[in-house]
Each structure stands twice: as C-alpha cells, then as structure tokens.
C-alpha cells in the first residue's frame, strides 16, 4: 500500500489508465471476434459490414498506445486479406 501522498496519486492514476486501456482493448477484441465469426460462417456481407468498425477500433487502440502500432498493422492486414479472400 502506498504510504506517501504522491504514491497514492500515482496509484489512482494507474487504476484510471488501466480501466481506460481495457475499455479500448475489449471493444477492439469484440469487433475482431465479430469479423472472424462472420468469416467462419462464410458470411461475406456480415464480414464486410463489421470490418470497418473493427479497423477503426484497432487504429484507435494503437493511437492510444494500448497496442503496438505493428500489432495493429498486423491485425488490419490479416483481417482485410481474409475478408477480401471471402469475396
């Protein structure tokens, strides 16, 4: 437990940042799962519908520093290739 005023504040800030980061990470993962579920069921319309939302969530997470920019690029590339391959 923090014993100094500054350490207590840093702890409060850490908790706030973690909650904010988990919000972006969770929503990103949700949209990626929706695209992958549509791909698994060979539903091209649903995959194309969810792809822009997933890409936006991935880019937002990368811009906030929740995930690395190369990781974001990899996710975007793989999802886009998979949706384009489906038709």
d(C-alpha 60, C-alpha 79), whole Å: 16
Domain ranges (residues) in the chain: 5-86
- Return the pLDDT at 47: 97
Cα–Cα dist 34/46, whole Å: 8
Which residues, including other chains, have CB under 8 Å from residue 8's CB and lie 6 or more apart?
A: 2
pLDDT score for 87? 75
pLDDT band at residue 1 using 50, 70 and 90 as cut-offs = confident
- Overall fold of domain 5-86: Methane Monooxygenase Hydroxylase; Chain G, domain 1 (1.20.58)
Closest CA to 38 of 29, 28, 51: 51
Token pair listed for 79: 């999802």
Q: pLDDT tens, 18-64?
A: 999 999 999 999 999 999 999 999 999 999 999 999 999 999 999 99
Lowest mean pLDDT among 41-45, 61-65, 78-82, 83-87: 83-87
Write down the pTM of the prediction.
Answer: 0.89
DSSP H/E element including 68: none
């Amino acid at each position: 437990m923090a014993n100094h005023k500054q350490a207590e504040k840093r702890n409060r800030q850490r908790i706030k940042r973690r909650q904010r980061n988990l919000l972006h990470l969770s929503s990103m993962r949700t949209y990626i799962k929706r695209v992958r579920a549509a791909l698994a069921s060979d539903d091209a319309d649903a995959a194309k519908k969810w792809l822009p939302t997933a890409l936006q969530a991935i880019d937002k997470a990368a811009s906030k520093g929740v995930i690395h920019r190369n990781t974001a690029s990899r996710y975007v590339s793989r999802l886009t290739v998979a949706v384009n391959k489906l038709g």
